[in-house]
Copies of this chain bind each other. A is one copy, B any other.
Amino acid sequence: METAQAFLDLKIPVVDLSADFRLSAAEVYETWYGAHRCHDLLKEAVYGLPELHRDKIKTARLVANPGCYPTSCILGLAPLLKGELIQLDSIHCDSKSGVSGAGKTMAASNLYCEVNEGLKAYKIGEHRHTPEIEQELSRIAGQEVVVSFTPHLIPMDRGILSTLYAKANGDLDSAKLYNHYEEFYSSEPFVRVRPLGTFPSTQDVHMKNYCDIGVHFDPRTGRVVVVSAIDNLTKGASGQAIQNMNLMMGFEETSALI
């Protein structure tokens, strides 16, 4: 985290790919990660999800690039909260990720034969991306939002699929739901809402900077189901970092991205 300060002292703007500046409340950071040594920067840093914070990113010196899971969950859920379409205490995020999300760590659990033909959940109720999702959803809702977040490891290289559930507020149907998403993201270059009745596969966003979203309202349960797909190494990491850099530097937002 001190490195960010060093660059800023040299007047070099920073997009930070680590988790150091994603949580604006120091006490939340310290609960999940440990001591934070740059409280001032924490207040200044902008959460680098252009679809929510584009204007602030344009003028920021320090942008905290979001985590891969949070990118897929927040983009999938934001329209529901902005539109006040769901009950805030009913949100579940069931996320599935390819193995590159674990980095190149030399852990037995990352060996080929331990991953191949296997499927598991991990860090249930305690994954560090949980407060990041909650921070952004709470900002939209204007009140504290708590979610269940369960990550899973899938035997493939790249890609995250998040299946998101919430209880609808009052009357809703699939067409109304779809139209709300379609309008919400109508001018976004990197979010594609899928035609009603279809849902994205991670193959659709492989090596691309898109977040693809499909929505469904289930009248039997009164619940909304949203499926959100990204490539964890592109929109979930370096692609989004370039998108943020483009905004900060005044370049075309879509420059060098597909």
- The chain A residues found within 8 Å of chain B, CB to CB, are 92, 94, 96, 98-100, 104, 106, 108, 110-122, 124-125, 146-148, 150, 152, 154-159, 161, 163, 165, 199-203, 206-207, 214, 216, 218, 220-221, 223, 225, 227, 229
Among A99, A165, A200, A203, find the residue whose CB has the most chain B CB atoms closer than 10 A: A203
**Given A111-B112, A227-B124: A117 and B158 within 8 A (CB)?**
yes
Residues of B within 8 A of A104 (CB): 108, 111, 113
Q: Is the CB of A106 within 8 A of B113?
A: no
29 residue pairs of the A-B complex, CB under 8 angstroms, read A92-B94, A96-B96, A98-B117, A104-B108, A104-B113, A106-B108, A110-B112, A112-B112, A112-B155, A113-B157, A116-B116, A117-B158, A117-B202, A118-B156, A118-B201, A118-B202, A119-B159, A119-B229, A120-B203, A121-B163, A121-B199, A124-B199, A124-B216, A124-B225, A125-B220, A148-B218, A148-B221, A148-B225, A155-B155
Residues of B within 8 A of A202 (CB): 117-120
Residues of B within 8 A of A206 (CB): 117
State the CA gap A256–B227 with chains docked (Å). Answer: 34
